[in-house]
Structure 1
Amino acid sequence: MGSTFNSLVGLVILALDIWAIVNVLKSKAEIGMMVLWILLIVLLPVLGLIIWAIAGPRGNVRL
């Protein structure tokens, strides 16, 4: 059971990281900032995702 749960958590984190990277690429941030955000998300998947959610550039979000 533990292995299945860990695999599921890993897949959820991977999906969220991919979603965050796509949103960074859709944002209007400068290329250098995009590269830094993507590196942060890739190198620190959980922490990078949390930091991006708080302070990262946003894509084309409609309210």
Structure 2
Amino acid sequence: MSNILSVDDMIARYPGTTRGGWAQHRYKGTSPAFFKIGKKVFYREEDVLEWEANLTTEVSWV
């Protein structure tokens, strides 16, 4: 079973981020996949790792 991360866990994992910032990412569709239980938002760690991998870009010098 994967680890489940709360918004507070995400804030701890990414210093300088806020609850509002994560809410904006979710609203814009730029956050990792998430699910809700009641009003609380959670992320699966494997979705966060996949999201991180997709954020990286390769630079090619021509």
Provide TM-score, normalisation by structure 1.
0.30
Q: Which has more strand, going by share of residues?
A: 2
Normalising by structure 2, what TM-score? 0.30
Question: More helix by proportion, 1 or 2?
Answer: 1
